[in-house]
């Protein structure tokens, strides 16, 4: 029998403890100078993030969902258009397409739970305007093929990088492959604020300018509204926190990768358990460590009884959610996603996760497999 430990899925307080003094000082400076919305910290963070990524513009916005929406709107995507999205993602990816008036067109996923590039061409029509690859779980999607298809059909690529800060594909950072990349800084993401926050990155001067305006009521200067827009701004406190954390992101991403390697080794030969498939051409920043298991629900309750928290990202493929019933698609339209969503389970993963927790989770899984086989 294992000696019981309590293993949380993530521990955001552990990270705060490691940067407490710097973060507290930064927040207090924002408050004492009343730089609540916009201002010095927001500009500094946007510049630092763009520089670190190696992109010309970073437009800070209110959250990662708005980031995609704003880009699509400013590209002119709207009613009558179609936008290709993967069947597996957080609903933001497809939701924002509908918000513009366009229609999300779902594509089944591959082993990495990314858009299956061999199934994209079949759904391109003369109404298709854009394609949104999602670098799900922190691993870059198959960008060579996506870029090739997008070029052939004249489609915009908007990369959803919400789970993949500083991941790369063939040595190039995600977010830089298409016309724009979008990021979320939701607290649990690899680079997380202490509330909602997001950003758009692009090398396109005109698009950056339009996104910046649109996110701020269509104005660059107060009262000079060039168009109607929305209110989606990054606030000073979030920017100050993000600036402190940006200095450590590569270290934290490395820690995640080390934990993933450790999991991989410990879970290697367990029957019925598949560790995350790694794409040779892509780096993986392990926002999530997702295994596949034949008896997923039993494994989850077993782990729960051993005080190991797990999660499922995500229980249902997007097109099979009630929200998309109107598309009249079923499991047969997305065979890989349907099969995979029954088997995926996300294990605890955060940079500060102690080694003995990783070992404990792996032993608990090994014990589960041994019992089920005997």
Ligand X SMILES: *Cc1c(COP(=O)(O)O)cnc(C)c1O
Applying CB under 6 A, which residues contact ligand X? 63-65, 89-90, 92-93, 134, 160, 162-163, 184, 186, 196, 198
The nearest distance, CB 12 to ligand X, in angstroms, is 15
Nearer residue to ligand X within complex by CB, 196 or 235: 196
- 331 beta partners: none
110 or 160, CB closer to ligand X? Answer: 160
Token readout for 193 is 């604020």
Contacts (Cβ under 8 Å, ≥6 apart) of 236: 30, 35, 36, 37, 38, 39, 40, 41, 42
Check: CB of residue 35 under 8 Å from CB of residue 41: yes
Tell me if 183 sits within 8 A of 201, measured CB to CB.
yes
Report how far residue 179's alpha carbon sits from residue 132's, in angstroms, rounded to the nearest whole number. Answer: 11
Q: How far is the CB of 76 from ligand X (least distance, A)?
A: 21
Least CB distance to ligand X at residue 368 (A): 28
335 is written with which tokens?
């065979």
Q: How far is the CB of 194 from ligand X (least distance, A)?
A: 13
Coil, helix or strand for 126?
Answer: coil
Residue whose beta carbon is closest to ligand X: 64
For ligand X, give the closer residue by CB, 64 or 273. Answer: 64
Report how far Cα 288 is from the mean position of its chain's Cα atoms.
Answer: 9
Check: CB of residue 249 under 8 Å from CB of residue 344. Answer: no
SS3 content of the chain, % helix, strand, coil (to 5): 45, 15, 40
Greatest Cα pair distance in the chain? 73
- Give whichever of 142 and 270 is closer to ligand X, judged by the CB atom: 142
Token pair in block for residue 307: 């005080």
Closest CB 172 distance from ligand X, rounded Å: 20
Q: Which is nearer to ligand X, 15 or 88 (CB)?
A: 88
Instruction: Copy the structure tokens of residue 208.
Output: 């950056």
Instruction: Pick between residue 186 and residue 214 the one whose CB is nearest to ligand X.
Output: 186
Distance between CA 235 and CA 197 in Å, rounded? 8
Query: Which one, 133 or 267, has the nearer CB to ligand X?
Result: 133
Residue with tokens 């061409």: 121
Nearer to ligand X, 183 or 368 (CB): 183
Residue 48, both tokens: 């630092």
Q: Which two tokens stand for residue 217?
A: 């009521």
Q: Least distance in Å: CB of 183 to ligand X? A: 8
């Amino acid at each position: 029998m294992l000696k019981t430990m309590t293993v949380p899925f993530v521990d955001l307080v552990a990270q705060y403890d490691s940067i407490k003094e710097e973060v507290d000082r930064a927040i207090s400076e924002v408050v004492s100078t009343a730089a609540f919305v916009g201002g010095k910290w927001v500009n500094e963070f946007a510049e630092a993030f763009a520089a670190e990524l190696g992109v010309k513009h970073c437009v800070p916005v209110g959250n990662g969902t708005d980031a995609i929406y704003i880009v699509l709107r400013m590209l002119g995507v709207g009613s009558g258009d179609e936008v290709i999205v993967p069947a597996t993602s957080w609903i933001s990816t497809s939701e924002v397409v509908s918000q513009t008036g366009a229609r999300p067109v779902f594509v089944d996923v591959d082993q990495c739970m990314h858009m299956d590039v061999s199934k994209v061409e079949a759904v391109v029509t003369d109404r298709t305007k854009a394609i949104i690859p999602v670098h799900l779980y922190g691993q870059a999607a198959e960008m060579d093929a996506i870029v090739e298809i997008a070029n052939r059909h004249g489609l915009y690529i908007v990369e959803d990088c919400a789970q993949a800060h500083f991941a790369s594909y063939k040595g190039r950072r995600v977010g830089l492959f298409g016309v724009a990349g979008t990021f979320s800084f939701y607290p649990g993401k690899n680079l997380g604020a202490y509330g909602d926050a997001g950003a758009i990155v692009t090398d396109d001067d005109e698009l950056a300018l339009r996104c910046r305006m649109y996110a701020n009521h269509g104005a660059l200067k107060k009262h000079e509204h060039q168009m109607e827009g929305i209110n989606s701004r990054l606030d000073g406190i979030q920017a100050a926190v993000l600036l402190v954390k940006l200095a450590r992101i590569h270290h934290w991403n490395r820690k995640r990768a080390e934990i993933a390697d450790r999991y991989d080794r410990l879970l290697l030969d367990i029957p019925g358990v598949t560790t995350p498939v790694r794409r040779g051409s892509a780096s993986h920043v392990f926002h999530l460590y997702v295994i596949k298991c034949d008896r997923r629900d039993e494994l989850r309750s077993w782990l729960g009884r051993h005080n190991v928290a797990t999660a499922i990202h995500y229980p249902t493929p997007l097109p099979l959610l009630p929200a998309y019933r109107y598309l009249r698609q079923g499991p047969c339209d997305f065979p890989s996603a349907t099969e995979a969503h029954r088997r995926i389970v996300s294990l605890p993963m955060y940079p500060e996760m102690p080694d003995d927790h990783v070992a404990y989770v792996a032993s608990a899984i090994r014990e589960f497999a041994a019992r089920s086989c005997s």
